[in-house]
Amino acid sequence: MTAAVSVRELSRTFRRGRRSAAVQALRGVSLSIEPGETLGVVGESGCGKSTLARLIARLDEPTTGTIEILGDDVTHMHGQELRQLRRSVQMVFQDPYASLNPRRRVGTAVEEVLKVHKLADSPAARTERVDELLGLVGLDPGLASRYPTELSGGQRQRVGIARALAIEPSIVIFDESVSSLDVSVQAEIINLMVALREQLDLTYVFISHDLGVVRHIADRIAVMYVGSIQELGTWRQVSDDPVHPYTRALLSAVPHMRLDDQAGPQETPVLGEIPNPADPPSGCAFHPRCPHATALCSEERPALRAVADRLVACHLAAEIVEQ
Amino acid sequence: MSAPQSLMRRLAASPSAVAGGIIVALHLVAMLVAVVGITPYPPAEQHPESRLQGPSGAFLLGTDQFGRDVLSRVLDGVRLSLQVSIVAVAIAAVIGSTVGLAAGFFGRRFDSVTMRVADVFFAFPAILLALAIVTALGPGWRNTAIAIAVVYTPIFARVARGPVLSLRTREYVEAAEGLGFHPARILVVHILPNVAAAIIVQVSLALSWAILTESSLSFLGLGAQPPQASLGLMISDSRVLAATAWWNFAAPAVVVAALVIGFNMFGDGLRDALDPTRENR
């Protein structure tokens, strides 16, 4: 079966002006996502997860590497071809306050998508489809005549989802799409996403800094740190039985609510700061903060290897598993 | 409530916009009177028997050294001033805004080249640049309008470019791109309406500067040519008579000042009324 998304050795380097140092936002990321699957991507801010999302959505072009969507190489598409690709891949943005044009009514915003892609034959059919889409994301079709400023954050994010779904894509990328919402609203939106995934056979890429949120929706989780994947496995493996010291540290930062006072794997919280991506540490990027680091870790960058049924980029993975 | 209605409401609440609007409207009426040709006398008609007369029932604002009616000449001067300024500003606004929008949206080399060219224009004082262009093109109201248009085009390019730069990195513009909208659609439907306010305000302010520039050029004898009635020319011709026949000097001077201040105040009021931070739907 063709993968929905397949990226190989993806790198993206940002350069501000000629003299300043290049920032390697993404350093050789490879992964593939099967149709119908949801891949969660987690990591601290600046780890390159949003860059990865923007590259898969082709809102940005990689410096090196390839991106395949449904078997087609889309790495360097542009113009009309790229606009056609948008029919398959859609993105829902982080900030529901900024991702809608404040001057356009909700209905107009959704209808515009149908108009541009000629997805309904008549104005009447368009209006009907707009109502249908608003209903699909759990909004009262009566809200179509409102301006975005009159809606709550959760409602706006639903409009963002309705706009993305208007195109009938097969892949939807959520870039921190629930991060700016209240916890209760987050849960509602995630339930909506799960329901839509079943109903419309969608493939999701779900980007978040919050592992606690990601494990509710993802089939597999990729943990990123300073531009590369550290651990990639099923949500159960990654969230209940992590191997990489960074994943463990990240998990210990997720608040737990258990009566037996037995939080997940105990690990000391991460010390120190996230390294400057313009000047990443030698070897394993995590070694300056890692409690297990050895001399090898500062010299050689660990490859992503299969350890305990998942992929881990750590020289000491095998020893950690044995413990 | 529709956007134009609420804009009118906010304009009406601004004393500066109301005062400026009234002044501008009065001058537009004056222009209309001259265009229709119902000035008290033909502006160039001489009455040798009544030269340099003070204001009277027959000549409301008196007469000049050739016995021409000052009121009629002021009305016609307003017409010429507004005609030149409106044509000039229209050209500058259309060309300048288009260049600015494109520069901000497409960026890169086109942006750097156009903005450096604009810098070169900015390096010259407006009046000096206009003077040079009129000297090269020759006098006449069309050439004056072209000169003024050239001088103010870079300002519109700058005014349009700024908001585009910040808008194109806005998430909703990126979202439009992600939804597969054509760049032309994004520029016209999603960016232009947000830049329009700044351009409209600039039009009002540019009109006030254009009137000043036009008057200065005629004052220096490079704009309208006699016997045409022009506010700048009238001031220039009568300045030696200021002590003896002050009405000759005062009438056009007051009108130029009123026009410039009127457009300025209206522009300021418009800016406040269109300010998105004060927007509440």
B187-213 per-position pLDDT tens digit: 888 898 888 888 989 999 999 999 999
Q: Is the pLDDT of residue A193 over 60?
A: yes
Report the pLDDT value the prediction gives residue B280, as an integer from 0 to 100.
44
User: Does A160 sit within 8 Å of B178, measured CB to CB?
Assistant: no
Residue range of the domain that includes B229: 22-35+69-278
Q: Is the pLDDT of residue A235 over 50?
A: yes
Q: Which fold has domain A5-88+169-322?
A: Rossmann fold (3.40.50)
**Into how many domains does chain B fold?**
1
The shortest C-alpha distance from B147 to chain A (Å) reads: 37
* Mutation for B interface: A81, A92, A99, A167, most B CBs within 10 A: A99
User: Does B171 sit within 8 Å of A99, measured CB to CB?
Assistant: yes
Tell me the pLDDT band of A272, cut-offs 50, 70 and 90.
Answer: confident
Tell me the pLDDT band of A257, cut-offs 50, 70 and 90.
Answer: low
- Tally C-beta pairs within 8 A across A and B: 56
B127 domain-assigned: yes
B46 domain-assigned: no
The shortest CB-CB distance from A87 to any of B176, B180, B185 is to B180
- Range A29-41 average pLDDT: 93
What is the rounded distance in angstroms from the CA atom of residue A189 to the CA atom of residue A181?
A: 9
The shortest C-alpha distance from B75 to chain A (Å) reads: 42
Report the pLDDT value the prediction gives residue B207, as an integer from 0 to 100.
93
User: Does B180 sit within 8 Å of A84, measured CB to CB?
Assistant: yes
Tell me the pLDDT band of A78, cut-offs 50, 70 and 90.
Answer: confident
Report the pLDDT value the prediction gives residue B52, as an integer from 0 to 100.
78
B143 domain-assigned: yes
More confident residue, B18 or B226: B18
Q: How does pLDDT run across B96-150, given as a tens digit for each residue?
A: 999 999 999 888 888 999 999 999 988 888 888 999 999 999 888 899 999 999 9
Report the pLDDT value the prediction gives residue B2, as an integer from 0 to 100.
52
The shortest CB-CB distance from B177 to any of A59, A84, A167 is to A59
Report the pLDDT value the prediction gives residue A266, as an integer from 0 to 100.
53
- For residue A116, list chain B residues with Cβ-Cβ distance below 8 A: 179-182, 185
Can you give the pTM of this predicted structure?
0.77
More confident residue, A11 or B228: A11
Tell me the pLDDT band of B58, cut-offs 50, 70 and 90.
Answer: confident
How many residues belong to chain A? 323
More confident residue, B103 or B280: B103
Is the CB of A145 inside 8 Å of chain B's CB atoms?
no
Cα A69–A228–A313 angle (5° rounding)?
Answer: 110
DSSP-assigned beta bridge partners for residue A171: A89, A203
Report the pLDDT value the prediction gives residue A255, as an integer from 0 to 100.
67
- For residue A90, list chain B residues with Cβ-Cβ distance below 8 A: 178-179
- Site of tokens 């229209």: B90
Mean pLDDT of chain B: 87
Lowest mean pLDDT segment, chosen from A42-46, A219-223, A274-278: A274-278
Rg of chain B (C-alpha set):
22
Report the pLDDT value the prediction gives residue A270, as an integer from 0 to 100.
63
Q: Which domain CATH number covers B152?
A: 1.10.3720.10
Is the separation of the CB atoms in A93 and A175 below 8 Å?
A: yes
Is the CB of A90 inside 8 Å of chain B's CB atoms?
yes
Highest mean pLDDT of the ranges B58-62, B118-122, B147-151, B170-174: B147-151
- Range A81-104 average pLDDT: 88
Q: Is the pLDDT of residue A63 over 70?
A: yes
Residue A160: closest C-alpha in chain B: B175
Cβ–Cβ contacts within 10 Å for residue B34, how many? Answer: 23
B41 domain-assigned: no
Q: Is the pLDDT of residue A261 over 60?
A: no
Report the pLDDT value the prediction gives residue A170, as an integer from 0 to 100.
94
Closest CA to A250 of A228, A231, A234: A231
Lowest mean pLDDT segment, chosen from A190-199, A277-286, B115-124, B253-262: A277-286
Q: Is the pLDDT of residue A264 over 60?
A: no
Residue B48's SS3 state is helix
Is the CB of A171 inside 8 Å of chain B's CB atoms?
no
The shortest C-alpha distance from B267 to chain A (Å) reads: 23
Q: Is the pLDDT of residue A262 over 80?
A: no
- For residue B177, list chain A residues with Cβ-Cβ distance below 8 A: 59
The shortest CB-CB distance from A100 to any of B172, B180, B185 is to B172
Lowest mean pLDDT segment, chosen from A130-144, A178-192, B143-157, B216-230: B216-230
* Mutation for A interface: B112, B167, B172, most A CBs within 10 A: B172
The shortest CB-CB distance from B193 to any of A94, A103, A160 is to A103
Tell me the pLDDT band of B281, cut-offs 50, 70 and 90.
Answer: very low
Q: Which amino acid is at A24?
A: Q
b/e per residue A189-225 (b: at least 16 CB within 10 A): bbebbeebbeeeebbbbbbbbbbbbbbbbbbbbbbbb
Residue B180: closest C-alpha in chain A: A83
What are the φ and ψ backbone dihedral angles of B223, each rounded to 5 degrees? Answer: -95, -115
User: Does A99 sit within 8 Å of B180, measured CB to CB?
Assistant: no
What are the φ and ψ backbone dihedral angles of A266, each rounded to 5 degrees? Answer: -75, 130
What is the rounded distance in angstroms from the CA atom of residue A284 to the CA atom of residue A293?
A: 9
What are the φ and ψ backbone dihedral angles of A115, each rounded to 5 degrees? Answer: -65, -50
B47 burial class (0-12, 13-18, 19+ CB within 10 angstroms)?
middle
Is the CB of A112 inside 8 Å of chain B's CB atoms?
yes
Is the CB of A174 inside 8 Å of chain B's CB atoms?
no
For chain A, which residues make up each domain, given as ranges?
A: 5-88+169-322, 99-168
Tell me the pLDDT band of A158, cut-offs 50, 70 and 90.
Answer: very high
User: Does B175 sit within 8 Å of A116, measured CB to CB?
Assistant: no
Residue A163: closest C-alpha in chain B: B179
User: Does A95 sit within 8 Å of B179, measured CB to CB?
Assistant: no
The shortest C-alpha distance from A93 to chain B (Å) reads: 7
A267: its two tokens: 């690990």
Q: Is the pLDDT of residue A267 over 70?
A: no
User: Does B182 sit within 8 Å of A116, measured CB to CB?
Assistant: yes
Q: What is the ipTM of this complex?
A: 0.80
B215 domain-assigned: yes
- For residue A100, list chain B residues with Cβ-Cβ distance below 8 A: 172, 175
Report the pLDDT value the prediction gives residue A269, as an integer from 0 to 100.
62
What is the rounded distance in angstroms from the CA atom of residue A117 to the CA atom of residue B201?
A: 36
The shortest CB-CB distance from B180 to any of A86, A149, A160 is to A86
- Range A145-162 average pLDDT: 92
- For residue A113, list chain B residues with Cβ-Cβ distance below 8 A: 179
